[in-house]
Amino acid sequence: RHGSHLPPRSTQFTKPTQQHLDALKAISSSTLSTLDGSATEEELRSFNDDWMNKYHGKGSIVLKPKSTKEVGEIMKYCYENDLAVVPQGGNTGLVGGSNPVHDEIILNLSNLNQIRSFDEVSGVLVADGGVILEAADHFLAEKGFIFPLDLGAKGSCHIGGNVSTNAGGLRLLRYGSLHGSVLGLEVVLPDGRIWNGLSKLRKDNTGFDLKQLFIGSEGTIGIITAISILCPRRPSAMNVAVFSLESYEAVQKVYAEAKGHLGEILSAFEFFDKQSYALVKKHQEENGGERKVFETEGDFYCLIETGGSNSEHDEAKLTGLLEHLMENEMVLDGVLAQDSTQFQSLWSLRELVPESAGKAGSVYKYDVSVPVGKMYGLVEKMRAKLRDGGVLEGDGKAEGPIRAVAGYGHMGDGNLHINIVANKYTDEVEKIIEPYIYEIVAENEGSISAEHGLGVMKAPYIGYSKNETSVELMKQIKQLFDPKGLLNPYKYIV
């Protein structure tokens, strides 16, 4: 949560001093700190602030270790000295999880960035947690393989950060969740012990599957220093089409048709509303990249991607779907990518929504899952609530505290993103949205966090999605791994 609502600093933790810094400098091959003048506050800002510029920490020490051994020694020292630590990957998280709430030491993993091994027969990649997602995918592309996860932040986020948040992204529909594709992990525990669980086995029923606990644990019970992951062959033929549609009902019908016509080659089905599209167009115009895409625009848009091994077969299937949709007037207009440049530019209509919203103002982001049929109803309810609260004048109007309410997301996964673009972050607006948004998710038996996690933003609201016994068990797990509560405090479960 922003501003004054953040939890107060815990007196259990030691305040980092010059003496601690000296000891940590002897362990970590790279450090930055305002305590010894090796960095200014300004220079530490990119580590202390989050991607949305909504959460601002006051950490004075950033450690950038170069090996798992260093991470282990850092954690051992911090554990013995009651120093709180926030693990940080690419700092692209959207729930205020990756930057300090107060003065926690920032343990940034960007120097742990080596590919360790790749097996071209099994497709198993073993790599450091700080490898950037796009770098891992480029490495795999050269070998004809693909990383089984893709998301708009791929140029900055780390694979260790992805596993820590159990990121979903744009192709979960095709490749499934990281709970299925991650085969093993190497983790530094809060007390500095190194857990080597870097298995490459697909099948392993010997005891509890410990790695699953770390997937989606958001840096609260251990630091992921390496991952082992099963990577599929890269589809040799890929296509993308984007459609404009009249209504959300039409989007659902097209989704059903796409599944029927495309079967196993369907690799993504994304949707966005006209407010999302307007934000992207404005952002593109401002950057000189605007281009008319549709003859007929609509209230909704959907993006369909296919990935297969035979381009002729895939094109025949996709053309069959296009003809069917046009003949039955299920879409208003559609564009099929003709080459790889157009493939990218059509994808950017969807991928650019978060960045475009960020350029338009201060964005309240909600990432929820509810049954597909109910998804858009939540956006409409949210607009009505903001209008009743007197902060939204009408869609698309730039006046008033709220500039836009955009609904979009991973249709195939029942995952909706609501971006509420405000002039600035204020308590007035936040109180209108929260906890109302979580109440309407709970009414639909949905999840208040589909893929972004809880961080500091949603930690107080976990009860809207999880029952008491679940929360109690989670607290016991945290206690087991981190009895002093030093790792990523104030977040996740509080």
Contacting positions for ligand 2HG (CB under 6 A): 94, 152, 353-354, 365, 367, 417, 419
Q: How far is the CB of 268 from ligand 2HG (least distance, A)?
A: 11
**Cα 439 to Cα 41: distance, rounded to the nearest angstrom:** 39
At 110 the three-state DSSP class reads: coil
Report the largest interatomic distance among the alpha carbons of the chain, rounded to a whole angstrom: 73
Nearer of residues 152 and 414 to ligand 2HG, judged by Cβ: 152
**Cα 345 to Cα 336: distance, rounded to the nearest angstrom:** 11
Q: Which of 60, 68, 165, 267 forms a contact with ligand FAD (CB under 6 A)?
A: 165
Residues 6+ apart with CB under 8 A from 17: 35
Look up residue 420 and give its amino acid: I
CA 129 to chain centre: 16
Nearer of residues 31 and 108 to ligand FAD, judged by Cβ: 108
Nearer of residues 158 and 478 to ligand 2HG, judged by Cβ: 158
Nearer of residues 32 and 402 to ligand 2HG, judged by Cβ: 402
Residues 6+ apart with CB under 8 A from 305: 171, 238, 239, 240, 266, 267, 268, 269, 347
Q: Taking CB under 6 A as the rule, does residue 354 contact ligand FAD?
A: yes
Q: How far is the CB of 282 from ligand FAD (least distance, A)?
A: 17
Contact set for ligand FAD, span 422-451 (CB under 6 A): 451
Q: How far is the CB of 170 from ligand 2HG (least distance, A)?
A: 7
Q: Which helix (H) or strand (E) holds 78?
A: helix 68-80
> What does each C-alpha distance from 2 to 46, 48, 52, 55, 355 come to in angstroms?
17, 14, 11, 6, 20
At 415 the three-state DSSP class reads: strand
Nearer of residues 140 and 332 to ligand FAD, judged by Cβ: 140
Q: Taking CB under 6 A as the rule, does residue 134 contact ligand FAD?
A: no
Nearer of residues 274 and 458 to ligand FAD, judged by Cβ: 458
Binding at 110: pick from ligand FAD, ligand 2HG, none (beta carbon under 5-8 Å per type)? none
Nearer of residues 152 and 401 to ligand 2HG, judged by Cβ: 152
**Cα 265 to Cα 174: distance, rounded to the nearest angstrom:** 8
Binding at 72: pick from ligand FAD, ligand 2HG, none (beta carbon under 5-8 Å per type)? none
At 107 the three-state DSSP class reads: strand
Binding at 49: pick from ligand FAD, ligand 2HG, none (beta carbon under 5-8 Å per type)? none
Strands of 313-430 (E only): list them. Answer: 333-336, 362-369, 402-410, 415-422
Facing residues of 271 across strands?
302, 409
Q: Taking CB under 6 A as the rule, does residue 101 contact ligand FAD?
A: no
Total residues contacting ligand FAD by CB under 6 A comes to 38
Helical H segments across 363-459, by residue range: 375-388, 427-433, 436-443
Q: How far is the CB of 423 from ligand 2HG (least distance, A)?
A: 18
Nearer of residues 332 and 416 to ligand 2HG, judged by Cβ: 416
Q: Which of 39, 85, 157, 440 forms a contact with ligand FAD (CB under 6 A)?
A: 157
Q: How far is the CB of 203 from ligand FAD (least distance, A)?
A: 26
Q: Which two tokens stand for residue 469?
A: 């016994």
Q: How far is the CB of 370 from ligand FAD (least distance, A)?
A: 17
Q: How far is the CB of 279 from ligand 2HG (least distance, A)?
A: 11
Q: How far is the CB of 329 from ligand FAD (least distance, A)?
A: 31
Q: How far is the CB of 446 from ligand 2HG (least distance, A)?
A: 16
**Cα 153 to Cα 351: distance, rounded to the nearest angstrom:** 9
With both helix axes pointing from N to C terminus, report the angle between 18-25 and 68-80 in degrees, rounded to the nearest 10: 150
Asked if 82 and 11 count as a contact pair (C-beta separation under 8 A), the reply is no
Q: Taking CB under 6 A as the rule, does residue 65 contact ligand FAD?
A: no
Facing residues of 409 across strands?
271, 416
Q: How far is the CB of 423 from ligand FAD (least distance, A)?
A: 21
Q: Which two tokens stand for residue 428?
A: 């007035």
**Cα 33 to Cα 41: distance, rounded to the nearest angstrom:** 8
Binding at 417: pick from ligand 2HG, ligand FAD, none (beta carbon under 5-8 Å per type)? ligand 2HG
Nearer of residues 311 and 348 to ligand 2HG, judged by Cβ: 348
Asked if 269 and 306 count as a contact pair (C-beta separation under 8 A), the reply is no
Residues in contact with ligand FAD by the rule CB under 6 A = 51, 86-94, 97-98, 109, 129, 151-153, 157-158, 160-162, 164-165, 167-170, 218-219, 223-224, 354-355, 451-452, 455, 488
